[in-house]
């Protein structure tokens, strides 16, 4: 392997959830994508007590609070449809190439409130300049 991905990406929290009843739609953390061309999130589902995850996508917008949030165009979404619905513990990978500065993960459940434990990290990739920012 001759390519350094470490200097070309940046990891951020995308969704924090505890083992509790959640609403039909769960919105993740707002992520500032300035300086990056793509994002890939790993959604770890560690416990499904009741319910099903029927869709995982992103919302995007130019407002820092995402007051202008809209679902990302499906042509810019990167996911394997066979991975849905999620009915048991596992890891789901989803990504996008956003045309807007701010994005957040959007998880939709089937049938309203469910009891699911999940967490997501996002990898911002293809930075404009190297090395990318660091949290250290």
pLDDT digits (tens, 9 = 90+) for 43-78: 998 878 788 888 899 999 999 999 999 999 988 888
pTM of the model: 0.84
Task: Compute the Cα dihedral for 92, 124, 20, 60 and give only its sign.
Answer: negative
Residue 105 scores a pLDDT above 90: yes
Q: Would 109 be classed as within a structural domain? A: yes
Per-residue pLDDT band at 1 (split at 50, 70, 90): low
Is 109 buried (19+), middle (13-18) or exposed (0-12) by CB count in 10 A?
A: buried
State how many domains the chain has. Answer: 1
Q: Would 133 be classed as within a structural domain? A: no
Residue 19 scores a pLDDT above 80: no
- List the one residue out of 64, 114, 74, 109 whose CA is nearest residue 95: 74
Residues 6+ apart with CB under 8 A from 132: 7, 8, 9, 10, 35, 36, 124
H or E stretch at 40: strand 36-61
- Buried b / exposed e over 52-78, threshold 16 CB at 10 Å, is bbebbbbbbbeeeebeebeebeeeebe
Q: Would 116 be classed as within a structural domain? A: yes
Residue 123 scores a pLDDT above 50: yes
Q: What is the mean pLDDT of residues 106-124?
A: 84
Quote the DSSP letter at residue 4.
-
Q: What is the pLDDT at residue 111?
A: 67
Q: What is the pLDDT at residue 136?
A: 44
Q: Would 6 be classed as within a structural domain? A: no
Q: Would 3 be classed as within a structural domain? A: no
Q: How many CB atoms lie within 10 A of CB 85?
A: 13
Q: What is the pLDDT at residue 18?
A: 60
pLDDT above 70 covers what percent of the chain? Answer: 82
**35 neighbors 100 (Cβ within 8 angstroms):** no
Per-residue pLDDT band at 109 (split at 50, 70, 90): confident
Q: Work out the mean pLDDT of the chain and round it to a whole number.
A: 83
Quote the DSSP letter at residue 34.
T
Q: Would 1 be classed as within a structural domain? A: no
Q: What is the mean pLDDT of residues 72-89?
A: 83
Q: Would 52 be classed as within a structural domain? A: yes
Q: Would 5 be classed as within a structural domain? A: no
Residue 17 maps to which CATH number? 2.60.120
Provide the domain limits for residue 35.
Answer: 11-127
Q: What is the pLDDT at residue 20?
A: 62
């Amino acid at each position: 392997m001759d390519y350094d991905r470490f200097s070309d990406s940046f990891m951020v929290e995308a969704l924090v959830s505890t083992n509790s009843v959640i609403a039909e739609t769960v919105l993740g953390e707002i992520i500032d994508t300035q300086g990056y061309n793509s994002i890939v999130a790993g959604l770890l589902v560690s416990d499904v007590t009741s319910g099903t995850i029927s869709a995982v996508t992103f919302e995007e917008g130019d407002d820092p609070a995402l007051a202008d949030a809209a679902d990302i165009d499906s042509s810019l979404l990167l996911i394997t449809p066979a991975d849905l619905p999620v009915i048991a513990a596992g890891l789901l990978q989803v990504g996008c190439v956003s045309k807007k500065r701010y994005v957040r993960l959007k998880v939709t459940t089937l049938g309203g409130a469910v009891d699911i434990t999940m967490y997501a990290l996002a990898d911002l990739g293809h930075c404009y300049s190297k090395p990318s920012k660091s949290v250290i």
